Amino acid sequence: MSKLKDFIEKKMSMSHIYQPVMIKVLLENGGVADKKTIAQNILSYDFSQVEYYEGITNNMVGRVLRKNEVVSKNKNNYELKLFEDLSSTEINDLIALCDLKINEYIKKRGTKIWEHRRRNRKAVPGSTRYQVLKRADGRCELCGISKEEKVLEVDHIVPKNNGGEDSIDNYQALCFSCNANKRDTDDTDFRNLNVKYQTRQSDCIFCNMSRKVIAENELSIAFYDKFPVTSQHVLIIPKRHCIDYFELSQPEINAMNRLTHILKEKLKSKDANISGFNIGFNSGEDAGQTVFHCHMHLIPRRKGDVENPIGGVRNLIPGKGDYKTKPNTP
């Protein structure tokens, strides 16, 4: 035991969860397990796979079955109509019929039905995978999500089906979802996005600021507003210089949203009186923007900080906030 424990605690170098999962499976199965069992257990930890098939369930199969009045949906749950009227024998017969339909389809179409999920290539060596993910700063080179939030894969820029090579020059880091949506005929190179994110402007006060950063991720930073509306008023900005919200890329929007959630909890832990937030952007001079580097305001609110908070951001235009007492006011 001491040798295995020493390996797990001190010597195991991980680029993924595979090693501890495999050891766990072996321990749970008397020290022996076939590769299929190990693979199935690894799959059970892959939430991106679940996310992918949740999309299939909602947008394809669930929609078809609802249209044909076979199932109904209540929030995240699907319910088989008339299930309560079925006897146990009828349920077993219907399950057998479903198995028959599944097996007939697989027999007819073969493994081609899974080609959209198949990886017809050799595994990328760990050292190469590390270099690709390091080059991408540990984030998906399309959507910008970090490796801590979703598993990243090494994608062939020019697909193997189109003659793409197994070389680091033909690899890019994509999260599972982006890689699944990038078809085997798509040779888009997303690595150039990294260059864009380094853009700074010499005369921009946010590009060259010296204020204390209170939160940061790969594409955005946050700091306290110099002229706070309320105590702990925070600004969240993209590191790249862009003028307003409408110039943000999706990865930058994702990064700023992640900081917003982190800061919400951080600010509330510092001040238990915070009971709400105003969140927003000023885009354009006529909307009140004075610093033309995109920035999001995260403004903590406390009970009683204004006499009548109804309407929130609607109060930007005098007289438009309290719509409850003025139902005809647009």
Q: Which residues are catalytic?
A: 295
Q: Where are the beta strands (DSSP E) in the chain?
A: 71-74, 77-80, 152-156, 171-175, 215-216, 220-224, 234-238, 274-281, 296-302
DSSP H or E segment with residue 63? helix 62-67
Token output for 254: 């994702």
* Cβ contact 227:237 at 8 Å: no
d(CA 271, CA 260): 16
Instruction: Give me the amino acid identity at 227.
Output: F
Residue-level length of the chain: 330
Neighbour tally for 23: CB within 10 Å: 15
- Residue ranges in 271-321 assigned as alpha helix (H): none
Task: Go through 241-265 and write b for each residue having 16 or more CB atoms within 10 A of its CB, e for each that does not.
Answer: bbbbbeebbebbbbbbebbbebbbe
